[in-house]
Amino acid sequence: MKKTKPKKAKKKPSISILKKKLWVIISNHIRTRDNFICFTSGVKVEGSNAHCGHGIPSSVGGVALRYHPLNLHCQSYVENIHHSGNGGEYYRRQVSKYGQEVVDRLYKLKNKIIKSDRYFYEKLTELYLNEDEKSIIEYLEK
């Protein structure tokens, strides 16, 4: 009689894979939302020149700001990479677009600690796929 091995359960994707998938979804959403217009220079961008840039850099902003739709905008390669996001102009445009109170609220999120586990990335992916920015903001700021 031939022995058969039991079937393995399907392996869940790693958090690293979930992060990469989420960023692709977010980047496409943000660039489309902004009509491929650079937030800091106002120039129309396309292809590899169209980036999704952060107002508060993700290196200092934590996970809440890394994926927050009010901290993400379409930027040109030059603005995002060569000018490091052009923070001064980015800040001025955020204040002009959303108001000082909203921008201050974003800066307060720098100190917020969020557990970025599998559930966090799956939930955020679901919210971005639904393109419901109000729900995304509520989820990240709760």
Q: State the CB neighbour count (10 A cutoff) for residue 58.
A: 15
In angstroms, the CA 55 to CA 117 distance is 24
Q: pTM here?
A: 0.88
The model's confidence at residue 34, banded by pLDDT at 50, 70 and 90, is very high
The strand ranges marked E within the chain are 50-54, 72-76
pLDDT of 5-31, one tens digit each?
A: 777 778 889 999 999 999 999 999 999
Q: Cβ distance 38 to 79 under 8 Å?
A: yes
